[in-house]
Amino acid sequence: MERYHSADREPQEQPQAPKTYRRRPALARWVGLLVALLTLTVGLKFTAFNATYTAGVVSRSTVGEKVINRLNNELSDIGITGDPVTTSLVQPYLAQGIRQIYGQQTMTVDSTDLANAISAQASSMGTTASTTLTQSLTKRAQKLVDQAFGTTAMQTAAGKLQQAMRLNQWIMIGVGLLLVVTMIYAIGVHHFLGSLGPGLALGGLLTAILGALGWIVGLPLAVATVTGTGKSLLLAVGHGSLGVVIFLGVAEIVLGLLVLLGHRTFRNS
């Protein structure tokens, strides 16, 4: 009877061959390009286009040194020596001037630290700095910063910086949205880590290259029409910002290689 009913038996399922890993180099290259652009724009947003960071760079530049030296010289003229005015004390005032150049809303500077430093230095010399004196010097600090950033060269640089800030903002938003969509697609095709590792490594390499090109070629061209204090200020801020961008690129290369190595080890196991 078995031979008569053999045709009625359900065919046995054949074991399926294991699926082979499919490489997607085009997706990895696309992720790398987006990572490079996002790193570059985010890096500039938090360095060159950030008033606090820029104030720190400016306070160590010739612009900051002039303000600090003039304040300390005025204190020396009234008998308070020892250069109590330092970089960190002047930085909040410089940040105010930079916010004006960036077209951002300014805030009242807290002059307590500067006044305390002047009073402490006067006390160490056996004299007393009156409240009227410290208030006068803090106002003088604000006036010196306004003079330093109110030049024609600074105003010319301000227009270029504000245009660059707006362009950088829109590029950062657009690239961020594209990267989110790309990662969702990579998850859908089960290629998230396979794209993330090479993408980070390639993106970091592109970021480092773009940062180096900006340092060598782009920045000199950008400040070619700017002269005087504005040029030295832009060069100081640009070099500091591009240095951070290059560092981020190198860090992404290392991180991408680690992700790629971990993904390959997990896939082989």
Along the 269 residues of the chain, how does pLDDT read in single tens digits?
A: 455 455 555 555 555 545 555 666 778 888 889 999 999 999 999 998 888 888 888 888 887 888 888 888 888 888 888 888 888 888 888 888 888 888 888 777 888 888 888 888 888 887 777 888 888 888 888 888 888 777 777 777 778 788 888 999 999 999 999 989 988 888 877 666 667 778 888 899 999 999 999 999 988 887 777 777 677 777 888 888 999 999 999 999 999 888 877 766 666 55
| Number of other residues whose CB lies within 10 A of the CB of residue 159 | 11
pTM (2 decimals)?
0.76
CA-to-CA separations, 184 to 178, 195, 198, in angstroms, rounded: 10, 11, 17
Distance from first CA to last CA of the chain, Å, rounded? 49
> Do the Cβ atoms of 119 and 138 come closer than 8 Å?
no
Tokens 């500091």: give the residue: 240
